[in-house]
Amino acid sequence: MCDLLTISSRTAYKASYSLPDFAVCGERNCDGWGVGYFREDGTAQVRKSSHAAYDPEHDTLDAALVKLAKETRSQYFLGHVRFTSCGETCDQNCHPFKLSFLGRDWLFAHNGTCREIVKYESPNDSVPDATNDSARVFEYLRDRILKRYAPSGPGARSLFGALTDATLELINEYDSPDGRGDNFNYVLCDGQLLFVFMHHRPFYMLHRAKERADALILTTCGGEDGGGLTDAEAWHELNDRDRSYGTLMLIVHDTVVNTTQITRGE
């Protein structure tokens, strides 16, 4: 099953440890990797490949990923290592995905499965050439945000509220009718706000101080003996154990500023 990583910081952060540590999760998610980040001007950048992030036979990481980790600084990073469950294995289906709306770039990454949404046809721009469920989920949430978000005036709806409603609609409309329980997580970021939704597997969170740049790190990487990218640090498990609920968090810089539970079926 795919794994996710997010890093959010108050200042430009160099993820020279976190990204390589995360890439090792590519041993069990060998169908590709991707890293998204934001430049100072707010432009989103994505680097991705359908090659494995980690080669366990030679104990080596993808050279392009290592170079990115050494050279790139950003306040927000999104990482993904892929195990194909929907759509073919190719660069275009690797996460994160990028779309522009509300006047800025957005990045999105997803794990789990939402099988019924693959036939969704957006009235707006589509993720170029992507054929998997994750790209359709991104388009669906974007379309519902554009429909519901009103920053001012009568009936004003916050972006967090709009995304909460959109996520509930997604679950209600596209949950599997055969009871397979298409549960999933996602991360969504515009370079200023980071949204993390947990409906599938737990996230592990760490607040790491590194020189002058404090960073909040979340990942789904974990095992039977615990979770997180490292053994020597105190990772906090965020587990939405009641599958009738999903949990949506809003993170700004290194702080969780809002959290809500989304009740399925309302």
Percent of the chain beyond pLDDT 70? Answer: 83
Per-residue pLDDT of 106-126, as tens digits, reads 999 998 878 789 889 999 999
Please tell me the predicted confidence (pLDDT) of residue 256.
Answer: 94
Question: pLDDT class for 191, splitting at 50, 70, 90?
Answer: very high
For the ranges 15-19, 149-153, 159-163, 227-231, the maximum mean pLDDT occurs at: 159-163
Closest of 75, 49, 77 to residue 63, by C-alpha: 49
- Rounded to whole angstroms, the Cα distance separating 138 from 24 reads 26
Quick check: 249 pLDDT over 70?
yes
Per-residue pLDDT of 130-158, as tens digits, reads 888 899 999 999 999 999 998 776 665 79
**How many domains in the chain?**
1
Please tell me the predicted confidence (pLDDT) of residue 264.
Answer: 63
pLDDT, averaged across the chain: 85
- Rounded to whole angstroms, the Cα distance separating 76 from 9 reads 7
Please tell me the predicted confidence (pLDDT) of residue 179.
Answer: 47
Please tell me the predicted confidence (pLDDT) of residue 235.
Answer: 93
Please tell me the predicted confidence (pLDDT) of residue 200.
Answer: 77
User: Cis bond leading into 96, ω under 30°?
Assistant: yes
Angle at the Cα of 118 (from 113 to 121), degrees rounded to 5?
140
Per-residue pLDDT of 42-85, as tens digits, reads 999 999 988 888 888 888 898 999 999 999 999 999 998 865 56
Quick check: 20 pLDDT over 60?
yes
Mean pLDDT to the nearest integer, 158-182? 80
Please tell me the predicted confidence (pLDDT) of residue 181.
Answer: 56
What residue numbers bound the domain in which 126 lies? 3-263
Please tell me the predicted confidence (pLDDT) of residue 180.
Answer: 53
Question: pLDDT class for 92, splitting at 50, 70, 90?
Answer: confident
Q: Where does 24-91 have alpha helices with state H? A: 63-71
Higher pLDDT, 179 or 13: 13
107 burial via Cβ count (<10 Å: 0-12, 13-18, 19+)? buried
Per-residue pLDDT of 71-80, as tens digits, reads 999 999 999 8
Cβ(34)–Cβ(79) below 8 Å? yes
CATH number at residue 148: 3.60.20.10
Higher pLDDT, 244 or 218: 218
Closest of 210, 217, 199 to residue 79, by C-alpha: 217
- Rounded to whole angstroms, the Cα distance separating 204 from 21 reads 14
Quick check: 182 pLDDT over 70?
no
Question: Mapping DSSP to helix (H, G, I), strand (E, B) and coil, where does residue 9 land?
Answer: strand
CB within 8 Å of 172: residues ≥ 6 apart: 264, 265, 266
Please tell me the predicted confidence (pLDDT) of residue 55.
Answer: 80
